[in-house]
Structure 1
Amino acid sequence: MSRPSIHEACTKIVATVGPACSGVDRLSAMIEAGVDVFRINTAHGSRQEHAQVLADIREASQRVGFHAAVLLDLAGPKIRLGTLVTDPMRCSIGQRVSLIRGDVSTVANELTSSYERLVDELEPGDQVMLADAAVGLRVESVTSDRAECVVVAEGTIRSRQGINLPGVKLSVSALLPDDIDNAIWAAQNGIDLVSLSFVRSAEDVLGLKRLLAEHQSQAIVIAKIEKPEAMENLEEIVDATDGVMVARGDLGVEIDVAETPVAQKRIIRVCKQRATPVIVATQMLESMHHSARPTRAEVSDVANAILDGADACMLSGETAIGEYPIESVRMMNRIMRATERDMLRSRNRAAGRQRQIDTHRVHPITTAVTVAATEIAESIQAKLIVIATRSGNTAWVESQSRSLIPTLGASDSIETLRRMNLLWGIKPVYVNRLDETSTLIDVVCQWGRDHGGLKRGDHIVLVTGTGVIKKAHNLVVVHTVP
């Protein structure tokens, strides 16, 4: 398989790296299976391990000939249990446990946490959810050094599992010292995307953007929506960020799990209105941890995310620790391609598609020309759309048109090619001379013959610039393959 291919899915695949897919050989196989972006989760592993993963991804990309992007996921203020005296610990309905100050406990029913101010910020009546809501507690009373709780949902907990506090407004900063250190490391090592966990406001996102800019990073910032406060401030957060992740794991604990599907659809809708890429994540093919096939409900989940307008879907434990990491990628790719074929068949242009794209990323002329180029390409049934771009921003606009005509993002920047891996429908292709239209057309035609069955008489629509209008793409070229 040679990537990118004219026939591959438009929706992008993000895959989390872990023990199940470590090493250059496995990463290469995953790129060939369809991975566009690899996620490094800083909540697990050491700096040395993260550096090795990054080096392996870059080597695998060189081996395959496809520049996969790298997403560094900052852990953020995730609150976790400390070390349990009894590990694992069974919690039964009505059992009384205490959340205590400090990080060491010698009593079985006393629980410590990674957040030293936890006791200060709890009040009687608050809910405390442990291990992704496997166990639920209700706070009964709070003293200076402990919060007395009763178990209201029974289950088993283990050391270092997560603590969620639905409805509790924490004072902890969105960027902890470890996150700042990891973000600086990302900037120094050319990481393509950086995601921020537990975003609560636009200022959280802007703080990370300022930090990356101070270290000369052009990384795309992804805001993870997983707190009720983020849902309350959703429009402002989407305006501030470069991209969004629907982090359904913690979101489904922080809000009523029954409300999660509606919340997901609202997040995608707001992102589409603002031309902001959106990733849907968590438990998409969960059963493939231990099964070579997903459930029908999981297949429907992935398909519905695509139909709603997701730019990318993410695999987490499926690829990081599952038994079938490569098969999970292949299955995700199959679902995407099947769903997109149906989108193409069912699209009714007579009903009208919204082509107005509102974005601050590019010159208004570029937006207008790109939208017009898509209309031209569809009216003449062009075989390819080609966006010549140095920054990737024009490809960003084209991605939002959701045209199913294969679209190449042609650039002379490897960093730009990697960042374009997040963008729906954009297939990144390296071209060393963007300023010579005839050379660009020759390269694209050769690529099309080699990778997409381009033949004599096929039409290509090219979007580029003449240089007359500064920082704007103002030229549409329609080329017929000779």
Structure 2
Amino acid sequence: MPRPSLDQSCTKIVATVGPACDTPEKLAELIEAGADVFRINTAHGKIPDHEQKLAAIREASAMTGVHVGVLLDLAGPKIRLGELVNEPLQCDVGMQLTFIRRGEPKTDHELTSTYGKLIDELTVGNRVMLADGMVALEVESVSADRAVCRVTAAGELRSRQGINLPGVKLSVSAMQRNDLDNAIWAADHGIDFISLSFVRTAEDVRTLKNVLTAHDCEALVIAKIEKPEALANLEQIVDAADGIMVARGDLGVEIDVAETPMAQKRIIRVCKEKVKPVIVATQMLESMHHSPRPTRAEASDVANAILDGADACMLSGETAIGDFPVKTVQMMSRIMQCTEQSLTHDMTERTVTNRVHPITTAVTFAATNIAEAIDASLIVIATKSGGTAWVKSKSRSLIPTLGASDCEETLRRMNLFWGIKPIAIKKMGHPAEIRTEICRWGKKTGVLKVGDRIVFVSGSGVVEKAHNSVVVHTVD
């Protein structure tokens, strides 16, 4: 039985896999540094590329003995520029640029798009943001085959950079054909989490869930909040999804960048109220692409996300293509651990979720309070589905907590739950047998010593003819 990293952060780290870390050896280093979930970004590469990444992740998991989770990020209807005639193209304020419907651009000032209906959905006065908002345009005229725009914010453009249309209600579906193919591939390959980009309504989430259900897939669906429509429908989207990602890259372009911090706080607050895990993503340690240390502002950004209630923080290019992927994960873990020391467990607040039985919620809440009151060394949650661990993760108790299961899928999913350290046990048998196994492991590894108190919580279905049980055990 491998030892969970009880000395690492309670807040989980999602690391994106890319050329800088796509070997089993490098991924194993990231796991040892504190990575809990690996993200495969389907915006880059095809299914054979995803298969190579997944194989490397599984090998790294076997090497370290850690049941690391895997998140497949569906690209969604990301609109991009086509090929430019010459690049980079310097765009100055007042310059005129024209989107054309068909054919290749013939001059520097003609642009094409990957979205065939772009010109149909633009009207005079619309804003068009290019290259993550670095270049801004305003639409001046629209004809059958051309949309003439004027540059309002200067910058540099390159081929294939992103296009955002703040305030424009697009008719394109949140799930494209490639997304459907990737989702089916994920269902067939035991992916743990699937994130859906550019969600606008709860129906978008239900569409993906229906696809997964049809393929007998129990992956948790993570809805990415990056559109104004998603903010308008936030409560319904959170209800429909299994988790949420605050995708600040596109969100900070689709809405005023000045509004992004408060939008992030609102999203986290709603997720906390509805007991859904929430990931904060994009530019968290951006400078560590090429620097071995982050800026002080970036360190504060990570800390504030944790103080707001984030369950996980995500690294994107920092680990995928950065110069210091391992140092970046180590730094994020250090910031998390320092910040978590200021968190306090509220013994009066009890959240309710429809994901688990209300008795399970009540028992888990009471067990955490008991552990705090007796200064327990460890909380152990024996769970079949991970539901009990899900509830416990929202307590923000700093007492080390093991999520014990004999189900590999459950172990991997618990990697996204705040403060839960998954540990594999031989069999979900009688609770006394689980206690014996955990105590033997704890004394052997030095995690436990004689006299330590442990609070054991058995989830629904573990104890015969009972919803749950709570046992306080003293190590002898």
Give the shorter-chain TM-score range.
Answer: over 0.9
* 1:414 alignment partner AA: E
SS of residue matched to 1:15: strand
Distance 1:466 1:221, change over 3 A: closer
Cα separation, 1, equivalents of 2:333 and 2:465: 36
Partner of 1:272: 272
Contact 2:414 2:422 in 1 (8 A): yes
The amino acid of 2:301's aligned partner reads D
Structure 1 CA distance for aligned equivalents of residues 368 and 184 of structure 2:
39
CA 1:311–1:451: 2 relative to 1, 3 Å: farther
CA distance in 1, matches of 2:404, 2:55: 25
What residue is the counterpart of 1:180 in the other structure?
180
5 Å-filtered alignment, 1:309-458, equals 309-343=309-343, 347=344, 353-451=347-445, 453-458=447-452
TM-score normalised according to structure 1 size: 0.96
Equivalent residue number for residue 262 of structure 1? 262
The C-alpha deviation readout for 1:11-33, integer Å capped at 9, x for no partner, is: 00000001111111100100000
CA deviation vs aligned residue, 1:394-453 (integer Å, no higher than 9, x gap) = 110111111111111000111110000000000000012222112101121123224453
Residue 162 to residue 56, structure 1, CA distance change in 2 (3 Å): same
Q: Within 1, Cα distance between the matches of 2:459 and 2:296? A: 47
Distance in 2, matches of 1:59 and 1:400, equals 31
Counterparts of 1:399 and 1:58 in 2: how far apart (Å)? 25
- After TM superposition, the score normalised by the length of structure 2 is 0.97
Q: Deviations over 1:154-188 (max 9, x none)?
A: 10011110000011010000000000000000000
Give the Cα–Cα distance (whole angstroms) in 1 for the partners of residues 380 and 336 of structure 2: 22
3-state secondary structure, aligned to 2:456: strand
Q: Identify if the C-alpha distance between structure 1 residues 75 and 341 changes in structure 2 by more than 3 Å, giving closer, same or farther.
A: same
CA distance in 1, matches of 2:291, 2:64: 27
Cα distance between partner residues in 2 of 1:467 and 1:51: 35
The alpha carbon displacement at 1:474 in A equals 2.0
Counterpart residue number, 2:469: 475
Aligned to 1:342, what secondary structure does the other structure show?
coil
Using the alignment, how far apart are the partners of 1:327 and 1:465 within structure 2? 37
Q: Secondary structure at the residue paired with 2:412? A: helix
- What is the distance in 2 between the residues matched to 1:382 and 1:139? 63
Q: Which residue of 2 aligns with 1:113?
A: 113
Change (3 A) 1:276 1:465: closer
Change (3 A) 1:466 1:417: closer
Any idea what the Cα deviations from partners look like across 1:81-113, whole Å, max 9, x if unmatched? 011111211111100010111362222211100
Distance change (3 Å), C-alpha of 1:159 and 1:450: farther
Name the structure 1 match of 2:89: 89
Residue 19 of structure 1 aligns to a residue whose secondary structure is coil
Distance in 2 between residues matched to 1:4 and 1:466, nearest whole Å: 23
CA contact (8 A) 2:429 2:462 kept: no
Per-residue CA deviation, residues 187-210 of structure 1 (Å, 9 max, x unaligned), is: 000001000000000000011011
- Counterpart of 1:4 in structure 2 is 4
CA contact (8 A) 1:82 1:103 kept: no
Instruction: State the AA in 1 paired with 2:173.
Output: S
2:145 equivalent in structure 1: 145
Alpha-carbon distance between aligned partners in 1 of 2:122 and 2:442, rounded to the nearest angstrom: 61
- Conservation of the 8 A alpha-carbon contact between 1:103 and 1:113: no
Q: How far, CA to CA, are the matches of 1:395 and 1:416 in structure 2?
A: 10
String of CA shifts for 1:373-414, please: whole Å, max 9, x gaps.
111111111111111111111110111111111111000111
What is the alpha-carbon distance in structure 2 between the residues aligned to residue 467 and residue 16 of structure 1? 35
Structure 1 residues 251 and 193, CA gap change in structure 2 (3 angstroms): same
Secondary structure, in 3 states, of the residue corresponding to 2:245? strand
- Where 1:440 maps in the other structure, the secondary structure is helix
Shift in alpha-carbon separation, 1:468–1:22, aligned structure 2, 3 A? closer
Match of 1:284 in 2: 284
Corresponding residue for residue 245 of structure 2: 245
Compared CA separation, residues 132 and 386, structure 1 to 2 (3 A): same
Q: How many residues end up aligned between the 2 structures?
A: 475
| Structure 1 SS opposite 2:20 | helix
Q: Is the 8 A contact 1:6 1:451 kept in 2?
A: no
Is 1:64–2:64 an aligned residue pair? yes
**Change beyond 3 A, Cα 1:431–1:20:** same
Structure 1 residue runs of 5 or longer lacking an equivalent are none
**Stretches of 4+ moved more than 4 A in 1?**
465-472
Shift of the alpha carbon at 1:45? 1.2
Looking at structure 2, the residues matched to 270 and 450 of structure 1 have their Cα atoms a distance apart, in angstroms, of 42
- What 5-or-longer segments of structure 2 have no aligned partner? none
Name the Cα RMSD after superposition.
1.5
Alignment CA distance shift 1:466-1:370 (3 Å): closer
User: CA 1:455–1:328 in 2, change beyond 3 Å: closer, same or farther?
Assistant: same
Identity across the alignment (%)? 66
Provide the C-alpha distance between the structure 2 equivalents of 1:360 and 1:453, rounded to a whole number of angstroms: 34
Whether the 8 Å contact between 1:465 and 1:472 is mirrored in structure 2 is no
1:204 aligned residue: 204
Kindly indicate whether residue 112 of structure 2 is the aligned counterpart of residue 131 of structure 1.
no
In structure 2, the residue matched to 1:294 is 294
Change (3 A) 1:285 1:218: same
Query: Does the CA contact (< 8 Å) of 1:7 and 1:452 recur in 2?
Result: no
* CA shift for structure 1 position 295: 0.5
Residues 468 and 266 of structure 1: CA distance in aligned 2, closer, same or farther (over 3 Å): closer
Which amino acid is the alignment partner of residue 403 of structure 2?
A: G
